[in-house]
Amino acid sequence: MTTAASPSLFAPSGNIAQLKESATIAASARAKALKAQGKPIIDLGVGEPDFDTPAFIRDAAKEALDKGATRYTANEGILPLREQIARHANARKSPDLADVMPNEIVVGAGTKQALFNACFCLFGAGDDVLIPTPAWTSYFEMVSLSRANPISVMGLPANNLLTDADTLMRAATRATKGLMLNSPCNPTAAVYDAGRFREILELAHERGWWVISDEIYRRLSYDFPAASALELAPSRDRLVVVDGVAKSYAMTGWRIGWVIAPREVAKAIASLQSHTTSNAATVSQHAALAALARDDLAEPAIDAMVAQFKVRRDACLALLADGPAPEVVHPAGAFYLFINVKGAATGPNGAGSAFAARLLDEHHVACVGGDAFGAPDYLRMSTAAPLKDVTEGLRRIIALWRAGTGRA
């Protein structure tokens, strides 16, 4: 006997009526499903280091569990972890800025939660928030969930799709309340040079905009060290720096991120978090504490991972230089290639999504279409995978691009 499907009782609330699923997570889920069916998928869709968390961090977590790190902690995170975060921040910050104090830090369940908390506490109805685009897909949703307006500001082709102070000034209105920055950038892998970054921070300071600087990829920079806003900003009065352990320490699953914000903002964020998730997982906080406290062990581990990412990046650049190939944003940091596939495929969501669909179905390589990042002509490929997968995946991309554009 079959029963007719009953009509859905669910009507999404106004809070999420416009919400779109994370395109990067959806792409990764589709690749995983195809893999589970036995298809030989090369997964270059995810933004996740393919390395194990360094052993000393895993050992510290086991030891913490054995010592009873199984209960709630302070909502804003354990003090020793916030002290270590402050130590790292103070080591790089400009001497002109006031020292970061532990009570200006709130630890949350990943950089994602930290960013959401910051947007939700700073922005609201009627506020415009400038988002230099291409940008990580979640910024648009986080700003919208805060009932503010995400204003996409397209980056400059001559500047690796990064923005600059003049462009932001032209995009701003009287309703502009904030600016999201992300260097090195997901999805483009571009990195701001210190001069341009400083000009943007100075403009924001003059205009009284809140800056949320997402520095999750700061350690992954190959041509020159990526600057932190803490090194360049004229003031910390309206500066919120967001960071975490996921990418540099290969700790994505531990879910630890944090905000460094003026005291009143940190208090508001802690208050919001006290009603949503409370403290980030206790054992993960102890793991992050070990990561940040043991520079002697962490720095060589990070250097080794960065060296691997650079080998892959350089191998990709060599492949792209070997015959006709699509144009890419120069990948100075993070672990992505942002590839212009305009003219190589067409579809309702732009060339990038159409190209990604063909690449997955016919060539078994998972990537993400650029429309998720506000750049529909592009395709994002992750280089956080073994070298042979990265190079084979890129070879197939180049071959499909050549076939699609007729460039032999």
Ligand X SMILES: Cc1ncc(COP(=O)(O)O)c(C=O)c1O
In the complex, the residues that contact ligand X under the rule CB under 6 A are 47, 110-112, 136, 182, 186, 214, 216, 244, 246, 252, 257
Nearer to ligand X, 244 or 333 (CB): 244
Nearer to ligand X, 148 or 372 (CB): 372
Closest CA to 270 of 131, 73, 80, 124: 73
Q: Where are the alpha helices (DSSP H) in 294-386?
A: 295-320, 351-363
H/E element holding 35?
A: helix 23-36
Closest CA to 220 of 114, 331, 98, 320: 331
Q: How far is the CB of 112 from ligand X (least distance, A)?
A: 3
Closest CA to 185 of 153, 152, 211, 220: 220
Q: How far is the CB of 185 from ligand X (least distance, A)?
A: 7
Nearest position to ligand X, beta carbon: 110
Nearer to ligand X, 332 or 398 (CB): 332
H/E element holding 257?
A: strand 257-260
Instruction: Match 């997964």 to its residue by tokens.
Output: 43
Nearer to ligand X, 118 or 400 (CB): 118
Secondary structure class of 222 (helix, strand, coil): coil
Secondary structure class of 70 (helix, strand, coil): coil
Q: How far is the CB of 371 from ligand X (least distance, A)?
A: 17
Closest CA to 236 of 82, 85, 104, 79: 104
Q: How far is the CB of 255 from ligand X (least distance, A)?
A: 7
Q: How far is the CB of 318 from ligand X (least distance, A)?
A: 26
Q: How far is the CB of 391 from ligand X (least distance, A)?
A: 23
Q: How far is the CB of 184 from ligand X (least distance, A)?
A: 9
Q: How far is the CB of 357 from ligand X (least distance, A)?
A: 22
Nearer to ligand X, 212 or 345 (CB): 212
Cβ contacts of residue 363 below 8 Å, gap of 6+?
Answer: 396, 399, 400
Nearer to ligand X, 266 or 372 (CB): 372
Nearer to ligand X, 143 or 246 (CB): 246
Measured distance CA(262)–CA(122) in Å, rounded: 12
223-229 long-range CB contacts below 8 Å, 24 or more apart? Answer: 223/191, 223/332, 223/333, 224/191, 224/193, 224/332, 226/183, 226/184, 226/191, 226/192, 226/333, 227/183, 227/192, 227/194, 227/197, 228/92, 228/93, 229/181, 229/197, 229/201
Nearer to ligand X, 129 or 344 (CB): 129
